[in-house]
Structure 1
Amino acid sequence: FIFFPLLGFSVNTLSMFGLVLAIGIVVDDAIVVVEAVIHHIEHGLDPVAATRQAMKEVSAPVIGIALILSAVFVPVAFVPGLTGRMYQQFALTIAISVLLSAFSALSLSPALAAMLLKPSKPMRGPLGAFFRGFNRVFDWATRGYVGVARILVRRAMITIVLVGVVIVFSGLIGRQLPAGFIPDEDQGLLGVNVQLPPGASLERTGAVLTRVEQIVAKTEGVDSFATIGGFGLVTNTYQPNFGTVLVRLKPWEERHGPALHVRGILATLQRQFIAIPEAIVFPFNIPTISGFGASAGFKFLLQDRSGTLSVEELGANARKFMAAARQRPELGNVFTSFDPNYPQVKVNLDREKARKLGVPINDVFQAMSAALGSAYVNDFNRFGRLYRVYVQAEADYRRKPQDIGEIYVRSRTTGTMIPLSTLVTIGSVASTEITTRFNLFRSVDISGAPARGYTSGQALAALEAIFAETMPKEMGFAYSSLSYQEKTAPPALPTLILAIVFVFLLLAAMYESWRLPWAVLLGSPLVALGAFFGCWLMGYDNNVYVQIGLIMLIGLAAKNAILIVEFAKAKHEQDGMSVEEAALESARLRFRPILMTAFAFILGVVPLMRAAGAGAGAQNVMGTAVFWGMLVATFLGVFIIPGNFAFVERLGRRHAPSRARPAATPEPAVHGGHA
């Protein structure tokens, strides 16, 4: 929280989300330190000596892990747009937490370990029996693990083949996931849009709204609602044939089960609104992020790019597009406020005749505006208050189009009052009520939402396919609101690749080697396999939160690999062990801390997977992605990483330049720490 003001962050849903994820990460460094101290105490060292020896072994891995988990988020800090801002909230929150955790693990944890940890005494009773049984099972599992790892280390090419298989399956499963952007959330609110035919009066709209209110009031899970006649919230327009109902749902703790989730309530209302044939009535969810439109879903704009189409031609193209869109299974609740058939009164002023009679053109329009609408006159004081005076014709004198002819204006030349019936002709026409311009082009605003079971990415792809099939060359299209952000968001793959490159360069600097980083990073595809499999299993799409989770998982997978590779490198270079012995010894000694740190994080994200209420959509998606990604990376990575280390070390030894040695000195094994 100290750094949030310095970075311009607030305590919001995203930053707190990052802190929840960081909780499972920041304990890793302390676990590594404490486990290493306990290991040396169990082998006869006193706590202080054990702490010193442990810090010699784990200081480099702890520093490396902290730098890796920070470096993996460096590229995402420079991603532009809304996606970049979301990345930054997570990235910087987690990076700062990890650096502070590393500082604590290198300073406070050793001191506390030396003070508090003592040689363990055999425990008696049921708890002691449980611990002894657990240790026996874990020792048996460790021996089995080392046995499998020995096979993979001796035949290290198997691990490379497995990595290739993992990459292929990750790509296949990833392609099966539909593209998305930001999952819809249950915010305890929803809206209902009501649209009657063009020219419908506010009285007719009110009658339909009454029926909508009756349906909403009987729907389970609804707490209260408010009705607005003559206003379309989705289109943000004031028209007598539009209406809006804002619905507040009951608190989340009172709504249990899918049927009372906002998606279930929306589906229930949608089925009941079919019984209102005289209007287009559909419910909609509130946008996940405020400020990007009035409703969740998509905003698609058909544009007259040529500037030559009439309103009627634009309307014909819009009707053709809407008819095709309503046939697509990916799209639901597709509608537009654009309709060139609104009945209107057309007033033609004979300007030449008005000039001859001495009537200024401006006076004619001011008279019509004041009589048919209203005009401000002045103010007056009465009873200690200020009142405004407006002039307006009585309702009975502005009901019919012919009443326009009964409005009088004064001639500037003769001073007589002249009726407008002598100056204007009145007729009926059909045209659009509101004309929208987007990026200077006359546009048709089309709104809707993905159909149940489809994602926003699939909906936008369907819209573009319909446009290509139905629209002439004079037409174009654009997006607005969240749809624009989704289409302009940078692709995730370059960001992931750049994150891996940053990690690789940092590892190369740490190890002073170009090949050892490969032993760490060859296990990274495992996280993609796990994350994509988990999302596919739960029916989630590949959205921003999955991509953030993948970036974080790259660092976490590298952390597990560093614990093995760093120790194996030291055993090989400093203790003179062979590559195979060093890989197996590091796998055996690091097996317990890897599982401890991994399960600390995995169990820490279980509440995200099971979250309910506000923000649960994002939490469920990211929790699922990181849970399965870390689970697969841990269980498969512990087998693959020792083999990867052996493979790159043998490959480096095979291509290392030969060095002349004195004849009396036997040639030692080539060390693998430098390339």
Structure 2
Amino acid sequence: MFSGLFIRRPNLAIVIALVVTIAGALAILAIPVAQFPPITPPSVQVSATYPGANAQVVADSVAAPIEAQVNGVEGMLYMSSTSTDTGAYTLSVTFAQGTDPDLAQINVQNRLSLATPTLPTEVSRQGVTVRKQSSNMLMAVNVFSPGGQFDPIFISNYASINLRDAIARVPGVGDAQVMGALTYAMRVWMDPNRMTALGITAADVVAAIQNQNLQASAGQIGAPPVPDGQQQQLTILARGRLDDPKQFAGIIVRTNPNGGVVRLGDIGRVELGAQSYGSTAKLDGDPAATLVVYQSPDANALDVATAVRAELDRLSGRFPEGLDYAVVFDTTSFVSATIEEIVLTLGITFLLVVVVIYVFLQDWRATMIPTLAIPVSIIGVFAVLLVLGYSANTITLFALVLAIGLVVDDAIVVVENVRRVMEEHPDQPAPSASRIAMEQVTGAIVASTLVLAAVFVPVAFLPGITGQLYRQFAVTITTAFLISGMVSLTLTPALCGLLLRPPTRPWRPLAAFNRGLDGVRDRYGGLVGWLSRKLVIGIAVFALLTAGAFLLLRSLPTAFLPSEDQGYFFVNVQLPSAASLSRTEAVMTDVTERLRATPGVAHVISIAGYSILSGAASNVGLQIVVLKPWGERGAAETVDALLGRLRPQLGVIAESVQNRTLSGGPGRASG
């Protein structure tokens, strides 16, 4: 008999249980933590810019050759692109679930290299970028000037130069982007009348800037071959790229035959500005740079958020006077609160299960045996999750909450049967009674474990995003059942042989409970006997309950995921096509004022010129509405309640074609 080995050698069973528990405990320290399993397929984004071109020109000269080459790349599901009147082009290539994102990026880059020679020269000069597109938004860091000492261009560039790369290097950060970036650039405003009078064209100006704004290799003095006696060899340092408007204004555009020169400052003015003004960012209506941080798929969200905040604290010590930052949008706040609630639920469930076991077994020794099966079965699951590359998320932890009440069933069966044998054979010692009991119930334990596992295993093979979401649920609860079955065949009989003693008289309050339970059992038996004689009535009651359950099921609302208040929601603003950015900003300012006047709203992050639905365009905008902490909001200030009040308020804005509120979290969107 399989269990006989562990009854004779209980130390072996204890060691196996300890190994499983320790492996699970170590896995808890290393396993990633997230809100949900990764359900979005990997995607790669291709970005290019054609300055001065409209959307049709971008589509014909940039999108067409790139998409012709990228189409059909290995593992691709579909691709979508956006061409805007600002000259921006974005292509998103979505791959099948399970595709290696790094390999997908390399494959797209290789295909793109075939299209590069056919792109306009200006597009190639600007550069075409390929990067993995991360959907796991972790937080948004807002850099701003409280006293208004710095303009938006300085704030944006400070965030890009001093923060973005440092944050991107934090372990677990997949990407970091400055939304509404105003990258420094020298802007040359040419005077067409002066240029016409002097016979200078725009091409002459471009050529002069390119030829004189470069990092040249000036050579060396005293380099071989040299005359004998040369004592020194010096490298010539020449002024390279220009970095000041006055230096650019001094660029010689043309030399006249009489020796005179025409400088860039003679035919125009030069100023330091932004390369593009196609997007702006604000925090609560004030200029700010918004640095969005994305999490790597295999990283621990809570650890990454902590590391990012620590890095920000370090970097903020170097901020110039008058510059500050704030992290008002952090998705890990909800994740942390959710994990804490689930862990608390796990603890309460564990205590309730132990109390129920004691009430019915009425022996602390007998209670301790199935109680020990709970931590072994639950903690050991994490080792399997880590090996499979899964995370600790709301789905897997919910499976563990359900499993707590089920993993003790087999252990209780073993303990009850051993006690029955000891009652029937008082002369049998506990080890002998355990062997007799296991001979009787081993088959039943194996069968019940496999039946419970068979209920959930098919869920792991559901196709599509639904299967990807609930696969970890099925694996978690099935693993818990299998470990509990193993514990019931090894540790439980061994502990029964070590700990159980012949039953004694129960504690007086428990004796009263037994009498009450016997009365309930007798009445239940009488009811069942009566229904068995009145078969028609029994069938009618069963049919009525079944029909009622079916009707209630039909009346319940359905959703891909349950609706939850995550402490934030998104607002997408869209104006008519060809609306200017200033017009979009005016509408977003109006929306921001309405949002900030709403009770329960703490902060509003606004990004004009960008939408999570349609990408970059002058007629769209995105707003992240961050609510006050859950403890400071009542029932009238939940996400759903606020959305219900805000939709009619935002819908009256005449300028806006669409004000769509998007609540936070997967599967939650309404318009």
TM-score under structure 1 length normalisation: 0.50
Matched residue of 2:465: which SS?
coil
Question: In structure 2, what is the equivalent of residue 421 of structure 1?
Answer: none
Native 8 Å contact 2:434 2:496 kept in 1: yes
Q: Return closer, same or farther for 1:582/1:478 CA change in 2, 3 Å cut-off.
A: farther
What is the CA distance between 1:594 and its match in structure 2?
Answer: 0.8
Question: In structure 1, what is the equivalent of residue 438 of structure 2?
Answer: 587
Question: In structure 1, what is the equivalent of residue 25 of structure 2?
Answer: 171
Matched residue of 1:446: which SS?
strand
Corresponding residue pairs, total: 406
Native 8 Å contact 2:181 2:280 kept in 1: no
Q: Return closer, same or farther for 1:343/1:148 CA change in 2, 3 Å cut-off.
A: closer
Q: Return closer, same or farther for 1:218/1:162 CA change in 2, 3 Å cut-off.
A: closer
Question: In structure 1, what is the equivalent of residue 4 of structure 2?
Answer: 146
Matches within 5 A, 1:113-128: none
Q: Return closer, same or farther for 1:332/1:186 CA change in 2, 3 Å cut-off.
A: closer
Question: In structure 2, what is the equivalent of residue 194 of structure 1?
Answer: 47
Question: In structure 2, what is the equivalent of residue 511 of structure 1?
Answer: 361
Q: Residue 4 of structure 2 aligns to which amino acid in structure 1?
A: V
Match of 2:383 among 515, 530, 533: 533
Match of 2:131 among 279, 282, 292: 282
Deviation sequence 1:315-365 (CA, Å, 0-9, x none): 4134311121344563334322232347899xxxxxxxxxxxxxxxxxxxx
Task: Tell me if 1:622 matches 2:462.
Answer: no
Task: Tell me if 1:486 matches 2:335.
Answer: yes
Question: In structure 1, what is the equivalent of residue 347 of structure 2?
Answer: 497
Question: In structure 1, what is the equivalent of residue 176 of structure 2?
Answer: 334
Identity, % of aligned positions = 14
Matched residue of 1:334: which SS?
strand
Deviation sequence 1:549-589 (CA, Å, 0-9, x none): 32233223211111112223344456646544443333222
Match of 2:273 among 423, 430, 450: 430
What is the CA distance between 1:184 and its match in structure 2?
Answer: 2.1
Matches within 5 A, 1:633-672: 633-649=484-500
Name the CA distance, whole Å, in 2 between partners of 1:594 and 1:459. Answer: 43
Matched residue of 2:86: which SS?
strand
Deviation sequence 1:607-657 (CA, Å, 0-9, x none): 44555533343344333333433333322332111233455545998xx99
Q: Return closer, same or farther for 1:193/1:443 CA change in 2, 3 Å cut-off.
A: farther
Name the CA distance, whole Å, in 2 between partners of 1:437 and 1:648. Answer: 67
Name the CA distance, whole Å, in 1 between partners of 2:71 and 2:132. Answer: 14
Deviation sequence 1:51-108 (CA, Å, 0-9, x none): xxxxxxxxxxxxxxxxxxxxxxxxxxxxxxxxxxxxxxxxxxxxxxxxxxxxxxxxxx
Task: Tell me if 1:562 matches 2:404.
Answer: no
Deviation sequence 1:506-545 (CA, Å, 0-9, x none): 2233334555332111012222354222223223333333
Name the CA distance, whole Å, in 1 between partners of 2:487 and 2:144. Answer: 56
Native 8 Å contact 1:303 1:443 kept in 2: yes
Name the CA distance, whole Å, in 1 between partners of 2:466 and 2:382. Answer: 21
Query: Unaligned stretches of 5+ in structure 1?
Result: 1-142, 231-238, 250-254, 286-294, 346-425, 658-675
Match of 2:483 among 626, 632, 637: 632
Q: Residue 302 of structure 1 aligns to which amino acid in structure 2?
A: N
Name the CA distance, whole Å, in 2 between partners of 1:566 and 1:328. Answer: 54
Query: Unaligned stretches of 5+ in structure 2?
Result: 117-123, 188-268, 509-671
Native 8 Å contact 1:196 1:242 kept in 2: yes
Name the CA distance, whole Å, in 2 between partners of 1:338 and 1:554. Answer: 49
Q: Return closer, same or farther for 1:594/1:430 CA change in 2, 3 Å cut-off.
A: same
Q: Return closer, same or farther for 1:202/1:501 CA change in 2, 3 Å cut-off.
A: farther
Q: Return closer, same or farther for 1:436/1:170 CA change in 2, 3 Å cut-off.
A: same
Q: Return closer, same or farther for 1:216/1:299 CA change in 2, 3 Å cut-off.
A: farther
What is the CA distance between 1:430 and its match in structure 2?
Answer: 2.9
Match of 2:395 among 532, 536, 545: 545
Matches within 5 A, 1:19-30: none
Q: Return closer, same or farther for 1:441/1:328 CA change in 2, 3 Å cut-off.
A: same
Task: Tell me if 1:268 matches 2:107.
Answer: yes
- Structure number with greater CO (CA < 8 Å, separation at least 6) is 1
Name the CA distance, whole Å, in 2 between partners of 1:163 and 1:223. Answer: 45
Native 8 Å contact 1:181 1:457 kept in 2: no
Name the CA distance, whole Å, in 1 between partners of 2:453 and 2:503. Answer: 35
Deviation sequence 1:153-173 (CA, Å, 0-9, x none): xx7xx7666655543332123
Question: In structure 2, what is the equivalent of residue 301 of structure 1?
Answer: 141
Q: Residue 269 of structure 1 aligns to which amino acid in structure 2?
A: V
Aligned residues: CA RMSD: 4.4
What is the CA distance between 1:434 and its match in structure 2?
Answer: 4.2
Deviation sequence 1:117-166 (CA, Å, 0-9, x none): xxxxxxxxxxxxxxxxxxxxxxxxxx2422432442xx7xx766665554
Match of 2:290 among 427, 445, 451: 445
TM-score under structure 2 length normalisation: 0.51
Matches within 5 A, 1:340-379: 340-341=182-183
Question: In structure 2, what is the equivalent of residue 322 of structure 1?
Answer: 164
Q: Return closer, same or farther for 1:481/1:229 CA change in 2, 3 Å cut-off.
A: farther
Matched residue of 1:181: which SS?
coil
Match of 2:448 among 586, 590, 597: 597
Q: Residue 625 of structure 1 aligns to which amino acid in structure 2?
A: T
Task: Tell me if 1:217 matches 2:71.
Answer: yes
Name the CA distance, whole Å, in 2 between partners of 1:465 and 1:652. Answer: 59
Native 8 Å contact 1:225 1:245 kept in 2: yes
Matched residue of 2:490: which SS?
helix
Task: Tell me if 1:240 matches 2:86.
Answer: yes
What is the CA distance between 1:202 and its match in structure 2?
Answer: 4.2
Matched residue of 2:327: which SS?
strand
